[in-house]
Amino acid sequence: MFEKFTSLPPDPILGLLASYRVDENPNKIDLGVGVYKDESGHTPVLQAVKEAETRLLQSEETKSYIGPAGTPGFNSAMQELALGEGHPALIANRVRSVQTPGGCGALRVLAELVNRARPGARVWVSDPTWANHVPLLGNAGLKIETYPYYDRATSSLRFDEMVETLKNVGEGDLVLLHACCHNPCGADLSREQWKVIVEMAQKQGFTPFIDMAYQGFGDSLSDDAWGLRLMAESVPEMLLAVSCSKNFGLYRERVGMALAIYNDAASADNGQSQLLNVVRGNYSMPPSHGAAIVESILTDAGLRANWEAELTEMRERINSLRTGVVESLAAAGAPGDFSFIQRQKGMFSFLGISAEQVQQLQKEYSIYMVDSSRISIAGLSQGNMEYFCKAVAAVL
């Protein structure tokens, strides 16, 4: 059966991680893996998560299945976190959601839902986009197209070109948008630019498909969801994939939500029956533990306040690192203008150097990043900032 298989190349980031682990240089820096790290280079368990987990372990009385949709409490709390309390789509009973195994699970089941409604539908993704968008959506049967988004030469958005391309996108197509903290470039749409895309969706009839993996890592929980909330108010149908990996620090627990907004309540009930059937044919039931933690945090005033404070601390640390990179590169004499790093949001930015210079950083300085020069800002610290910036200045 398997004799015709050939070996596939390893995932670039996982391959980097393997090389990093065996590197004996005490000054080595991993800027490839997309997880939050504290000043010591550790990915911590949030205190609010620990407290919620302790309560859960003391109160949980069964390990029975929770059903394909997950728990009603989780779905309700996550809907309000994403859309905001009292959102018109929620009031109109047009929103349905299911708990999923991470944001990846959300993307995949929504893609399969779309493929049931319109087999082989086209989904337009930004150039660049998160690499895993392509297999998650494409392997579900959707056809991938791209629209211009980021100019690596100028480290800025190609918004006019984006708009010109999306003018050709009509009813039956989907447009994938990053809600905030764009992965991999960190350059987000402004509010005025969001308004333009919303008007295009209204006029042309394409379906927005929004991925929100970093709510709270950009400006705030509400500001980071501003664009998707406006879109959800303005169009008859919308899809949203949400991840709890970053803002709750629940990477290995695999917690996410797939949300769909429909034209009316009857269509929402029909669509939910289809989505539950997609889930049943994939993984049958979602895992419970991580989602129960999220539900506890979002429905307890004290836990939620503690979580929001910790999230603010993570966000402010990332933003301070962005400022530090810009200042330290200038102090190290690196040629060029890196101020764009300070203007961008979230964990990622393109450094804007060549693949050859990326390899030189790895070989000579044990600094690891993918060949595109995308770096995870959270992999830096006050302790390694000077070493990193001097190394970049040297290869430039």
Q: Just list the catalytic residues.
A: 130, 211, 246
| Residue 342 · residue 326 · CB < 8 Å | yes
What lies within 8 Å, CB to CB, of 259 at 6+ separation is 78, 79, 82, 95, 96, 97, 106, 239, 240, 241, 242
Q: Which helix (H) or strand (E) holds 97?
A: strand 95-100
3-state secondary structure of 45: coil
Pairing of β 156-157 and β 150-151: antiparallel
Rounded Cα distance between 187 and 137, Å, is: 23
What lies within 8 Å, CB to CB, of 190 at 6+ separation is none
Q: Which amino acid is at 57?
A: L
Rounded Cα distance between 81 and 45, Å, is: 21
Output the 3-class SS for 147-214: EECEECCCCEECHHHHHHHHCCCCCCCEEEEECCCCCCCCCCCCHHHHHHHHHHHHHHCCEEEEEECC
Q: Which helix (H) or strand (E) holds 81?
A: helix 72-83
| Residue 262 · residue 94 · CB < 8 Å | yes
| Residue 260 · residue 275 · CB < 8 Å | yes
